[in-house]
Amino acid sequence: MALVLSSLLLLGLCGNSFSGGQPSSTDAPKAWNYELPATNYETQDSHTAGPIGILFELVHIFLYVVQPRDFPEDTLRKVIQKARESKIDYDKIIYYEAGIILCSVLGLLFIILMPLVGYFFCMCRCCNKCGGEMHQRQKENGLFLRKCFAISLLVICIIISIGIFCGFVANHQVRTRIKRSRKLADSNFKDLRTLLNETPEQIKYILAQYNTTKDKAFSDLNSINSVLGGGILDRLRPNIIPVLDEIKSMATAIKETKEALENMNSTLKSLHQQSTQLSSSLTSVKTSLRASLNDPLCSVRPSSETCNSIRLSLSQLNSNPELRQLPSVDAELDKVNDVLRTDLDGLVQQGYQSLNDIPDRVQSQTKTVVAGIKRVLNSIGSDIDNVTQHLPIQDILSEFSVYVNNTESYIHRNLPTLEEYDSYWWLGGLVICSLLTLIVIFYYLGLLCGVCGYDRHATPTTRGCVSNTGGVFLMVGVGLSFLFCWILMIIVVLTFVFGANVEKLICEPYTSKEFFRVLDTPYLLNEDWEYYLSGKLFNKSEMKLTFQQVYSDCKKNRGTYGTLHLENSFDISDYLNINEHTASISSELESLKVNLNIFLLGAAGRKSLQDFAACGIDRMNYDTYLAQTGKSPAGVNLLSFAYDLEAKANSLPPGNLRNSLKRDAQTIKTIHQQRVLPIEQSLSTLYQSVKILQRTGNGLLERVNRILASLDFAQNFITNNISSVIIEETKKYRKTIIGYFEHYMQWIEFSISEKVASCKPVATALDTAVDVFLCSYIIDPLNLFWFGIGKATVFLLPALIFAVKLAKYYRRMDSEDVYDDVETIPMKNMENGNNGYHKDHLYGIHNPVMTSPSH
């Protein structure tokens, strides 16, 4: 197992894979979501090259032009298969490598021809040929050619300089990135150790969550009165509470009826007495008035008219005799008192109490069952602990830990050697770049001296020292080019063949995952195994376990159990059998029995309601009472009568008659205050009592019958449905308790399969080894190196050609051509000498120059 993981870590040739989904889960209890603590890793998932990435992209574009074909999956498969048979199809390899081979052949031609050309060029120059003769022939376009050669050489030197710059940058990048390798390796090993160390903590966390789940279940078990009992109560409440509320309201109405009847009865008695007293008082005052009107003054006009008026109004001083004739309500009051002998309100409260006692009765009847369920829950915790202890993840990680330690020791032991070799490579690259730099510097110096030392009036034989030095520099550059360019090309070809093939055959297919598809080819790595990883891990090659799945699962931060398909050796589903564990809980809950006997209202209560309906208040003649409450207690308004009498008395002459009438008026006022006003107050009380009784008695029988029907319905509902309600609520309660553990068990299974011991650090380590270290740290700078140095080396060829051509125009010649006939010299040349040369013999000065053979 460790071998497989190690290969996955470094080469991607072996690994572990399982692509499993999240296990199906039941509806989890609300607000119960478990989550493993996040593990933080140090190594970044991706690597960025920075600004230099632009140069790397240029190299990739060049490689695509050279090698545009797709990754040869089929060819590579056949090569690997035929390698076991010692038969390799080289035609397809050559076809794929055609671009690289062509470039390599051109490089080899360059390597072979450049020394030969340099040798013959040197021999030719020594024989005063190929520009070796220090003699310059005059040309009319000489100035133009000199400028063209100089500009061309300058442009080529700039191109070469860019290539040299790329070489320096690449050389520096290799050195810089190799120095980062130790830190990068330490980061990956730290992440791998984090994986190894966090796994036991994750398993402990999973076990700890069982205690949380158990505590929640225990809380519900301890609160079975509110959870189960409350559920039963909530189911019964909508059908029972409204009936009890109506009965309670009727009990209140009975009490109000009694009070109203008592008030009405006392009021009627008071009215009878007060009406009698009023009648007696009015009779007395009328007698007094008649006696006063017998005074002799009443026979004399005009007093007689006043007396007659008073005598005629005496008939109004009468009381309302109907007040003494209102019927009594003693019979109805007696019936209501008989109804109240039964405490209907207390009976209703008993109905409420029997309903509210359901939670406590449930708790008292389930104590034994709850204790049994708690014992089962405690035993499940021990079973889960045993399962986690037998997980093969720990064994695999232990083996992997040994491998990680060995690999880390190996890398740390060999990193100094790698850094030493890197120093040699860096030094060699520095020498190569410096050599090219030296050559191009000679070209730059030649151009600089040639341009700065140029004298348009000087002849080829009289050129200055600076100009001549420029020509010498150019020829030195040419000589160095011939000496070293073929050696540089050897290095370029070797690095090109290696770097280009690694880029096209490893780096690019690794990034696109095509490399994994090749490794996943059935029977490729082992002719007896359809899938290599399946055979390597479980000796079950027919099981589909692929490198690509391994890598993808690990990149997705999937757990080791699921990634490695460990259910083939230890199926956690069998050990965490949800049905097996929940069945034990369910069996205990099946014995949960609750018996509830609820009686809302007994026979006494029902009889009380029926007696109240028959008490007769709904049959009373309330109109008779209401009619009297609207009448005046006397036949006239006594107060107005008294004021009128007093006014008439004042119109009489002073005397006994006047005084007697005024006394009678005052008596009438007193009767109004002492007799009429109390009667009016009693009539108001009577009106209120009648209205209360009228409202209560209106439809009383129908209301009582409706209440009794509702009571019968509610009682029948309880009798017929209480058992089913208890069963349904018990099932719901059982489902809630079991749901906690189903959700927890499924979370355990999912976490162990998908989350515990996440193999992401392994995928990151593989990326680090291949994508970062090999491709980014080594191959990318290596490819940039041969790209820059190769470009500079190739452009040395045109550079030396132009340098040889241009040196002829900068160096001081030993001889030069002259015109024999001055008249043949163009006018422009006559002004500044022949083509800019000053001809001494034209002025009679001897000039030892070579002449043409005919001269």
Q: Which residue has the tokens 């990634």?
A: 563
| Crossing angle between the packed helical segments 344-356 and 230-293, to the nearest 10 degrees | 160
DSSP classification of residue 525: S
pLDDT at residue 106 is higher than 90: yes
pLDDT at residue 831 is higher than 70: no
Cβ atoms of residues 557 and 394 within 8 Å:
no
- Averaged pLDDT for residues 668-687: 82
Q: What is the pLDDT of residues 455-488, one digit of tens each?
A: 766 666 666 687 788 888 888 998 898 899 999 9
Q: What are phi and psi of 176, to 5 degrees?
A: -65, -45
Report how far apart, in Å, the C-alpha atoms of 409 and of each of 413, 561, 766 are. 6, 27, 18
Q: How far apart are the first and last CA of the chain?
A: 97
What's the pLDDT at 287? 84
| Element at 136 (helix H, strand E) | strand 135-136
pLDDT at residue 289 is higher than 90: no
Q: Which residue has the tokens 């072979």?
A: 112
What's the pLDDT at 12? 34
| Crossing angle between the packed helical segments 344-356 and 603-613, to the nearest 10 degrees | 140
Q: What are phi and psi of 758, to 5 degrees?
A: -60, 135
Show Cβ contacts of residue 677 under 8 Å, excluding neighbours closer than 6 positions: none
CA dihedral 537, 539, 543, 549 (to 10 degrees): 20
DSSP classification of residue 617: T
What's the pLDDT at 17? 32
Q: How far is Cα 509 from Cα 517, in angstroms, rounded to an integer?
A: 9
Number of residues written out for the chain: 855
**DSSP code per residue over 459-500:** -TTS--HHHHHHHHHHHHHHHHHHHHHHHHHHHHHHHHHHHH
Q: What are phi and psi of 319, to 5 degrees?
A: -90, 165
pLDDT at residue 166 is higher than 90: yes
Show Cβ contacts of residue 463 under 8 Å, excluding neighbours closer than 6 positions: 453, 455, 810, 811, 812, 813
What's the pLDDT at 441? 94
Q: What is the pLDDT of residues 769-793, one digit of tens each?
A: 888 889 988 999 999 999 999 999 9
Count H helices and E strands in the chain, helices first: 32, 2
Q: What is the pLDDT of residues 569-605, one digit of tens each?
A: 766 666 666 666 667 777 777 766 777 777 777 778 8
What's the pLDDT at 438? 94
In sign, the C-alpha dihedral spanning 769, 775, 779, 785 is negative
pLDDT at residue 829 is higher than 70: no
CA dihedral 785, 787, 789, 791 (to 10 degrees): -170
What's the pLDDT at 461? 64
In sign, the C-alpha dihedral spanning 168, 174, 176, 177 is positive
Cβ atoms of residues 829 and 845 within 8 Å:
no
The full set of domain ranges for the chain reads 2-210+390-485+512-568+751-807, 237-358+603-721, 818-855
Is the link from the previous residue into 509 a cis peptide, with omega within 30 of 0? no
- Averaged pLDDT for residues 633-650: 79
* DSSP β-bridge partners for residue 834: 837
- Averaged pLDDT for residues 319-342: 74
**DSSP code per residue over 655-668:** SHHHHHHHHHHHHH
Q: How far is Cα 421 from Cα 429, in angstroms, rounded to an integer?
A: 12
pLDDT at residue 143 is higher than 80: no
- Averaged pLDDT for residues 354-373: 83
Q: How far is Cα 813 from Cα 203, in angstroms, rounded to an integer?
A: 91
Say which amino acid occupies 706. Answer: R
Q: How far is Cα 82 from Cα 71, in angstroms, rounded to an integer?
A: 18
Say which amino acid occupies 241. Answer: I
Cβ atoms of residues 760 and 192 within 8 Å:
no
Per-residue confidence band for 184, with pLDDT thresholds at 50, 70 and 90: confident
At 815 the three-state DSSP class reads: strand
In sign, the C-alpha dihedral spanning 624, 630, 633, 634 is negative
pLDDT at residue 491 is higher than 90: yes
Closest CA to 586 of 740, 725, 382: 740
Per-residue confidence band for 492, with pLDDT thresholds at 50, 70 and 90: very high
Show Cβ contacts of residue 822 under 8 Å, excluding neighbours closer than 6 positions: 830, 842
Closest CA to 706 of 50, 142, 243, 136: 243
pLDDT at residue 295 is higher than 50: yes
In sign, the C-alpha dihedral spanning 151, 155, 160, 161 is positive
Q: What is the pLDDT of residues 705-721, one digit of tens each?
A: 888 888 888 888 888 88
Q: How far is Cα 550 from Cα 196, in angstroms, rounded to an integer?
A: 18
Closest CA to 358 of 606, 718, 713, 602: 718
For the chain, give percent helix, strand, coil, nearest 5. 75, 0, 25
Report how far apart, in Å, the C-alpha atoms of 197 and of each of 191, 275, 742 are. 10, 106, 29
Q: How far is Cα 680 from Cα 275, in angstroms, rounded to an integer?
A: 11
Closest CA to 741 of 633, 581, 618, 593: 581
Say which amino acid occupies 787. Answer: F
Q: What is the pLDDT of residues 22-75, one digit of tens each?
A: 444 444 444 457 788 878 888 877 777 778 889 989 999 999 999 888 887 777
Sort 807 into a burial class: Cβ within 10 Å, 0-12 / 13-18 / 19+. buried
Parallel, antiparallel or unpaired: strands 815-816 and 135-136: parallel
- Averaged pLDDT for residues 741-749: 81
* DSSP β-bridge partners for residue 136: 816
Query: Mean pLDDT across the chain, nearest whole number?
Result: 78
Q: How far is Cα 488 from Cα 800, in angstroms, rounded to an integer?
A: 15
Q: Which of 8-12, 36-40, 133-137, 592-596 has the lowest mean pLDDT?
A: 8-12
* DSSP β-bridge partners for residue 816: 136
Q: What is the pLDDT of residues 219-269, one digit of tens each?
A: 888 888 888 888 888 888 888 888 888 888 888 887 887 788 778 778 778
